[in-house]
Amino acid sequence: MKTLYLALLRIWIYCQLRAVEATIDGQDTCLELVRDPSRHLRITLARQEARRERDRLRQAYNQTLPVGFVKVWA
């Protein structure tokens, strides 16, 4: 039962991780198009927050893995 729970948790975290990475990619695209400094700053701050969230999710994903197994993120 515990392995099923961990597998489902791992899938849930992985889906969240991919969604955050898509958000970061979209923010990068927007930064290329935005010329207003205030909007640029807001997008940059949001991107920094999304990167922190991505790092938190990666850590949570690694905690669900078996002992001695570490996923290396490229």
Residue 69 lies inside a defined structural domain of this protein: no
Residue 6 lies inside a defined structural domain of this protein: yes
Residue 73 lies inside a defined structural domain of this protein: no
Residue 74 pLDDT greater than 80, yes or no: no
Q: Which residue has the higher pLDDT, 57 or 71?
A: 57
Residue 72 lies inside a defined structural domain of this protein: no
CA dist., res. 28 & res. 40, Å (int): 10
Q: Which of 55, 48, 69, 53 is nearest to 6 (CA)?
A: 69
- pTM beyond 0.95, yes or no: no
Residue 44 pLDDT greater than 80, yes or no: yes
Residue 23 lies inside a defined structural domain of this protein: yes
pLDDT of residue 60: 94
Residue 71 lies inside a defined structural domain of this protein: no
Domain of 11, in residue numbers: 2-63
Counting the structural domains of the chain, the total is: 1
**Average pLDDT score over the chain:** 92
